[in-house]
Amino acid sequence: MNNNRFIIAPSELVDEEQLIILTDVQYWKDNWDELNQWCLVRDASTAGMAVILGSERTLVEFVLRWS
């Protein structure tokens, strides 16, 4: 398992949302469609190599699913 797939942005850098920076380009390229489907059914969206999450709960779900 690669623990460097993403970085969680510190809370000082965001307002109410949670921000994930995707760092493992090849992994996310290979799983982009699945990630987008995951975001569609949750309070989340992608923006380039970032995922914007609307809540702490969605952050926990993201970490559990994509770690």
pTM of the model: 0.87
In-domain check, residue 29: yes
Sign of CA dihedral 17, 21, 65, 33: positive
Exposure of 41 in the CB half-sphere (CA atoms within 13 A) = 6
> Which of 22, 24, 20, 27 minimizes the C-alpha distance to 44?
20
In-domain check, residue 16: yes
In-domain check, residue 33: yes
In-domain check, residue 1: no
In-domain check, residue 43: yes
In-domain check, residue 54: yes
How, if at all, do strands 18-22 and 6-8 pair? antiparallel
Range of the domain at 34: 6-66
Number of domains within the chain: 1
Condensed to tens digits (0 to 9), the pLDDT of residues 23-60 reads 999 999 999 999 999 999 999 999 999 999 999 999 99
pLDDT score at 9: 92
